[in-house]
Structure formats: C-alpha cells, structure tokens
Amino acid sequence: MQSEVTADARPPVLKIVPAQQVPFADVEAVFGTKGDPATCWCQWYKLPRSEWSMGNAELAHLLEQQITEGEHGPGLIAYDGDTPVGWCAVEPRPALPGLPRKRIVAQGSPDQDFDDASIWAITCFVVPRAHRKRGVGGALAVAAVDYARQHGARVVEAYGVDPAARAKVPAADLFPGTVSMFERAGFLEVARPTPSRAVMQVRFSDD
C-alpha cells in the first residue's frame, strides 16, 4: 500500500507507506532519541507494567520485530520527499492486549469483543516538532483508514482528544490524535467517556 495525500501548502504532497516497506532507520528518525516516543516505541498498549523496566533500545527492538513479523500493521510512515516526517500506529485490536484495560475503551467502545480482528485501532501519532502544524497527522489518519479497509477491517476505532474541553493540553498529550482531526478523516463520535476524550469510529459495513 502506498498513498499520496495532499495535506496543505506545507508540504503539498505526503507519501505514506506501511512501516514494513521502509528501513527501520526511518522509523527511528521519526521517534527520535528524546521525549515520550523514544521511551515508549508504541508499546503502551502491548506490554504489561512489569515489563516497563526494559531500556529504550529494547523497546525499539520490540517495535522493529513487530514491524518485521506482523501480518498487518503496526503502523504507517509519512514522507515529505525523502524525509520521514510522521508515524501512525494502526492495527487490529487483538494485537493490543492492554487496550481493553484502558477506561476510555472499556467504558466507551461499543464493540467489546477484543478478539475480533476485523476491528482495528488507531492509537498513536508521532510527528517530530519540525514537521508539526503541516497536516501530517491528518494525512496519516486518512491513510490509516484506507490501509485498514484494504486489509479487511470492518471497523476502525480511534480515541480522540478534545482540546476544547480542557483548559490547556500539552502537546505530549495529543499523541492519540484530536477529535477534529478524526472528524475530518471521516470518523463519527460514538461515545464520550470523559469530557475531553471521545471514542470515534469509521464503519465500513453494518453488523
């Protein structure tokens, strides 16, 4: 799967491809060496708390293994020209064993069968500071829906942050994506477990 998505005037076109199709060095370039992405490597919904004592290099190695060995997912990489500028985590919910334990999901998702591989989840965006506010996250959200549909998804679920419902939202708290961004990508809000967090879905067919 390769998608070219027009984002806005900066940059005009983003190339978005599955992480399996790119060098892992490009994934590393997006996650960087500082901040939350470099200390999580999209393992938040995958590892039990008892395993969070491992180092950042080990977490990065886990993500590399998941990219190499996974049938679908775990994410997409966006490019501006040859420069990797963003990551979006998207994959079937059974690959995310920690997801059902999160209150927003347990209380908000209308689909509680977490073994159903036709329900996919978008859980994380990483956009390096130099490439923010240029439509990268929104383009990735659109491409993630497309990718999930192409690989058999019946439902794509996301857990948007609503900055308007909070006095101040640090940039680090926006990693799940925002409500408005998902709305522009075609998602509908299906639940509001907390004032500032919404469960949002795209459904491709009726149950």
* Three-state helix/strand/coil letters over 118-155: CEEEEEEEECCHHHCCCCHHHHHHHHHHHHHHHCCCCE
Q: How far is CA 75 from CA 9, 78, 190, in A?
A: 25, 10, 24
Checking DSSP bridges between strand 155-161 and strand 119-126, what pairing results, if any?
A: parallel
Q: Which two tokens stand for residue 19?
A: 């992480």
Q: Could you give phi then psi for residue 46, rounded to 5 degrees?
A: -115, -30
Q: At what angle do helices 24-31 and 56-69 cross, to 10 degrees?
A: 140
User: What is the structure's pLDDT at 6?
Assistant: 44
User: What is the structure's pLDDT at 74?
Assistant: 95
| CATH number at 3-203 | 3.40.630.30
pTM of the model: 0.90
Distance, CA of 49 to CA of 45 (rounded, Å): 10
Q: Which amino acid is at 15?
A: K
User: What is the structure's pLDDT at 1?
Assistant: 59
User: What is the structure's pLDDT at 2?
Assistant: 55
Q: Which two tokens stand for residue 51?
A: 């395993």
**Is 36 in a helix, a strand, or coil?**
helix
Consecutive 10-residue runs of the chain (207 residues): their mean pLDDT? 48 84 96 89 89 86 93 92 96 95 94 96 94 92 96 96 83 88 96 95 80
Q: Which residues of 75-85 are buried (b: 16+ CB within 10 A; e: fewer)?
A: bbbbbbeeebb
Neighbours of 111 (CB within 10 A): 18
Where does 31-131 show beta strands of DSSP type E?
75-80, 83-92, 119-126
Residues 57 and 50 sit within 8 Å (Cβ to Cβ) = no
Q: Which residues pair with 197 in a beta bridge?
A: 161, 194
**Is 59 in a helix, a strand, or coil?**
helix
User: What is the structure's pLDDT at 143?
Assistant: 96
